[in-house]
Amino acid sequence: MTLITMSSAFRLGPHPLLHHCRTVCNEQFEQYQITTDLEQLLLPKRNQLVLSPEGHRICLGNWNTAQLESLSTVLLPSNSSEAITAVLLDVSRSLVKRVDTL
């Protein structure tokens, strides 16, 4: 018997429950109020990464190198690590809701 991981299950094909979870996740992301320039840069890319086949890793706080590199492409040199951390921690509530939805 082969162990099917979340990412391989995602690639095998869309499941109706997975589709529902993605819909709920998208609705939750749309409700988040973007109030700073950093959020404007960071959150669309983070949301794209969360919805990717490896996105479940982010929900578990397990970012891989490719995800971090992709996220870094939208950041400016003037963005401090403290500000980036604060934004990611603040929006983590939406990730927790996504995990609860799954």
pTM: 0.64
Give the integer Cα–Cα distance in Å for 73 and 41: 10
- Most confident among 13-17, 25-29, 73-77 (mean pLDDT): 73-77
pLDDT tens per residue, range 51-78:
787 776 776 677 888 888 998 999 999 9
Does residue 92 contact residue 11 with C-beta atoms inside 8 Å? no
